[in-house]
Structures are given as C-alpha cells and as structure tokens.
Amino acid sequence: MVSCSQLASTPHHPHFCPSQFLEFDLIWNGQERRNQRGTACHKRTDACFLALLLHMNETDVVIWADNKCARFLLCCLKCCFWCLEKFIKFLNRNAYIMIAIYGTNFCTSAKNAFFLLMRNIIRVAVLDKVTDFLLFLGKLLVVGCVGILAFFFFTHRIRIVQDTAPTLNYYWVPILTVIVGSYLIAHGFFSVYGMCVDTLFLCFLEDLERNDGSTERPFFMSPNLQKLLNKKNKGQTDK
C-alpha cells in the first residue's frame, strides 16, 4: 500500500489529494530524518541572523546618536530589516506547510511554496486581507465579550456571583488585565486557525495546478468550493 507522503513526493503524479496530506508515515527513512534536522537548523539560523541584525542596529544607534545622516541611514536599515523579517516569517510559514505535505527539505519546500504563491499572487492578496479581517473580528468579539463580563463581575452587577466578587476601589486595573490576557489567549488560538487557512489554501492551489477536472485528473476540492469557482469534474451533475 502506497502512503500519501510517497504519493505526493512523486514529481509528475497526476493525482493530488489535499484532504489526505495529514496521514504521515509512522516510520521515516534516513533521508526524511536528515530533512527534518536540516529544517531545524535553518530555523535556528534565521533566528540567529535576525537577532544579530537587531543587536547591530541597537549598537550603531548608541554609537552614532549625534550624527543625523547616520540616524537616517539606520532608520532605512531598520525598515529594510523589518521587511526582511516579515518576508522570512512568511517564507518559513509556507515552507513548513510544504514540508508537512511532501516531506521535502526546507530549501526545496520554501522554493516550491514561494513560486506557487507568486503564480497566484492575486488570490494570495485577497485571501490574506479577508483572513486578517475575519480573524481580527474574531479577536475583537472575544476580547469585547470577556471585557464586558469582567466589568459586570468586578462592579457586582451579576447577582449569581455577586457575593464571590471582590470589593475593589480601582476595578479598572483587573478589567484591563483580563482584557489583555484574553487578547493574548485569543491571538494564540486564532493563529492556529490562520495556519489552517494557509494550509488549505496551498492545497487548493496545488489542486488547481495539478488537476483539470477530467476523468484522469479530477479535482479533489470540496463541491462547495468547486461551485464557488465555477469548476466541476467531468461527469459530475449539478445539485
């Protein structure tokens, strides 16, 4: 029986099943183990590189604080380093998704993910903005509900827990603490949803590029997604 990782690693295999990429093999061969170690090394190298740039930037600011030209150049470098950091994080995120799907090394996965996204740059831009907006609304909803609940709790306006609520002179301090904590927790949970959206999106792009809806290469995306994109497999009847 051929596993999904072996099937996906075939360079010109006509079929690609995005719903099965999570079926990892329990036994990895030596090449896959080396790929995983190389991936970890790349991750540590990126982190050390960014930390070194940040340290150099802060040191130069202290040395050349009185030089206006130097401060301008350092501001430009800081902007470039910020863009570089965002790009590396974006590349790492999608590279690890491709590693989970195909089991390839970091460089190959990063290259494949980057060129796949560049070939669909309009879809990437639209999905990124829509996803960020929806996740922001979700965080705002969670923080707002928790903040309102904390306000009613600390002001003794909830009769069920009115006796257990502490009496405080400045109740805004615990309310703000609860709001900040709820935002951090919500951010952690919604980041998982963001990773799931990116993973499904890469699978969707692979499905579009590898398959054309014919009998030999049918689409593996859900029927609702096919209907949204006005695509369907041959021989499939509209419901």
With beta carbons less than 8 A apart as the criterion, state whether 35 and 224 touch: no
| Cα gap 199→138, rounded to integer Å | 20
| Per-residue confidence (pLDDT) for residue 135, from 0 to 100 | 93
Instruction: Reduce the DSSP state of residue 71 to 3 states and report it.
Output: helix
- Say if CB 113 and CB 141 are below 8 A apart: no
**Spatial contact of 229 and 28, defined as CB atoms under 8 Å apart:** no
CB contact set of 31 (below 8 Å; sequence gap of 6+): none
Taking the chain (239 residues) in runs of 10, the rounded mean pLDDT of each run is 42 43 37 48 55 55 65 84 86 89 88 91 88 93 94 83 76 91 94 90 88 84 80 68
Q: For position 209, what pLDDT does the model report?
A: 87
Q: What is the model's pLDDT at position 161?
A: 74
Q: What is the pLDDT of residue 21?
A: 38
Q: What is the predicted pLDDT for the residue at 31?
A: 43
pTM tops 0.75: no
| Burial tier of 110 (Cβ tally within 10 Å: 0-12, 13-18, 19+) | buried
Token pair in block for residue 14: 């006509």
Give the gyration radius of the chain's Cα atoms: 25
pLDDT score at 187: 94
Q: What is the DSSP string of 102-127?
A: H---HHHHHHHHHHHHHTTHHHHHHH
Q: What is the pLDDT of residue 11?
A: 44
